[in-house]
């Protein structure tokens, strides 16, 4: 029986080009890409303003000043994250194929037959150069932004998951995109997926 569903989860370091690679892979397989727009989809479904949700996207809960009562959390960060996890699970259970960037997808969908979990990292200098160029920042500001964003992603991931962010044991492939380039990395991923699912026949 042909493999009709494909879910590609891509974790990434800030500045590694993971998002760009996710776009290329999604385009190659003609799949929808979920990233920041995930909240847009959720907001549209609930008929609410997405700007209310965006400020809590991919953030860990505060270490103190939160409380849990009968499974209810006071932290908006936790609630928004759970909302996204539920959305991802629902899409996966409905048989939809998609590429998802971040949002702990490799843990949320762990064990799903159609899941391919990847992590993209990069060399420090290359990541810094990319951030400087993309955000038009000087060296110090780019360095600070990279460190802050990576720390937030790590804290977010490690708070909601039992596994550690970037730990190779959680992913099928971990690739340093700085070494071979973004397009080449995307090609390797595409090739890997074709080998992983030789009978891939997306509906």
- Contacts to other proteins by CB under 8 A: 42-43, 46-48, 52-53, 56, 64-70, 72-74, 76, 79-80, 82-83
Report the residue number, 68 or 147, with the smaller CB distance to other proteins.
Answer: 68
**Residue 156 Cβ vs other proteins, minimum distance, rounded to whole Å:** 16
C-beta closer to other proteins: residue 82 or 168: 82
**Closest distance between other proteins and the C-beta of residue 144, in Å?**
24
Pairing of strands 98-101, 7-12: parallel
Q: How far is the CB of 79 from other proteins (least distance, A)?
A: 3
CB atoms within 10 A of CB 2: 10
Considering the complex, state which of residue 46 and residue 151 has its C-beta at the smaller distance from other proteins: 46
* Helix (H/G/I), strand (E/B), else coil: 191: helix
- Give the Cα separation of 21 and 35 in Å (integer): 13
Distance CA 87, CA 85 (A): 5
Two structure tokens written together for 128: 């810094």
Alpha-carbon span 86 to 59, nearest angstrom: 17
Least distance in angstroms from the C-beta of 59 to other proteins: 11
CB nearer to other proteins: give 80 or 117.
Answer: 80
- Of the two residues 80 and 131, which places its CB atom closer to other proteins in the complex? 80
Helix, strand, or coil here: 178?
helix
What is the closest distance, in whole angstroms, from the C-beta atom of residue 47 to other proteins in the complex?
6
- Other Cβ atoms less than 10 A from the Cβ of 201: the count is 11
């Amino acid at each position: 029986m042909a493999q009709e569903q494909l879910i590609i989860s891509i974790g990434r370091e800030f500045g590694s080009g993971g998002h760009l690679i996710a776009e290329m892979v999604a385009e190659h397989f003609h799949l929808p890409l979920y990233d920041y727009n995930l909240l847009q989809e959720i907001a549209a479904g609930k008929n609410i303003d997405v700007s209310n949700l965006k400020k809590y996207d991919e953030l860990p809960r505060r270490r103190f000043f939160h409380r849990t009562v009968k499974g209810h959390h006071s932290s908006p960060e936790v609630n928004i994250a759970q909302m996204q996890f539920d959305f991802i699970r629902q899409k996966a259970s409905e048989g939809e194929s998609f590429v998802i960037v971040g949002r702990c997808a490799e843990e949320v969908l762990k064990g799903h037959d159609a899941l391919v979990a990847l992590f993209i990292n990069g060399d420090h200098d290359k990541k810094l150069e990319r951030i400087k160029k993309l955000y038009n920042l000087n060296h110090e500001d780019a360095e600070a932004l990279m460190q802050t964003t990576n720390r937030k992603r790590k804290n977010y991931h490690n708070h909601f998951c039992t596994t550690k962010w970037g730990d190779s044991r959680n992913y099928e492939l971990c690739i340093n995109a700085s070494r071979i380039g973004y397009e080449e990395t995307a090609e390797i991923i595409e090739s890997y997926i074709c080998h992983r699912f030789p009978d891939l026949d997306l509906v």
